[in-house]
Amino acid sequence: MDYFQFCESLRSRLPGINQEALSAWEEFVADMNTGDPRGAQQMRGELYVEMLLIQQDYGDELATSLFNMGVRHTINTFELPGAAEMLSCGMDEAALYDEITSCGWHPPEEHTQRVRFILRNLS
């Protein structure tokens, strides 16, 4: 997924996301995929799917809030479901970021399969 497609698709689903967060996430994607445009496209696709699933599972407000946290903190795409769960339980942003970065969070295999299925069908 190219940057323009990513922005347009995500904005159509979560109109409350802000440009500053989009820029921060794109910088994160670029940092993680230096010199690898295909890797960046794949990572944008993964980020998009994770945000769609979070929106579906937790609602627009939490998904938008989590995405906009990217202005201050970006995390691996596979850690987003755990972050959404922690936010839904009332954990504040600073504690959430500390928890994710110190302990990590890995999704159950079913979630990983769900993301892969959606990504295959996006193409």
- Extents of the domains making up the chain: 3-122
- Cα–Cα dist 106/86, whole Å: 13
By percentage, how much of the chain surpasses pLDDT 90?
51
Q: What percent of the chain has pLDDT over 70?
A: 95
Say what the pLDDT of residue 79 is: 87
Mean pLDDT, rounded, for 91-119: 76
Q: What phi and psi, each to the nearest 5 degrees, are found at residue 35? A: 75, 10
112 Cβ contact list (under 8 Å, min separation 6): 78
Q: pTM of the entire structure?
A: 0.84
What's residue 107's pLDDT? Answer: 67
What was the pLDDT predicted at 122? 72
Cα–Cα dist 119/121, whole Å: 5
Name the one residue in this structure whose structure tokens are 């940092």: 31
Each residue's pLDDT tens digit, 28-86: 999 988 888 889 999 999 999 999 999 999 999 999 999 999 998 888 888 889 889 88
User: What is the per-residue pLDDT for 21?
Assistant: 96
User: What pLDDT does residue 66 have?
Assistant: 94
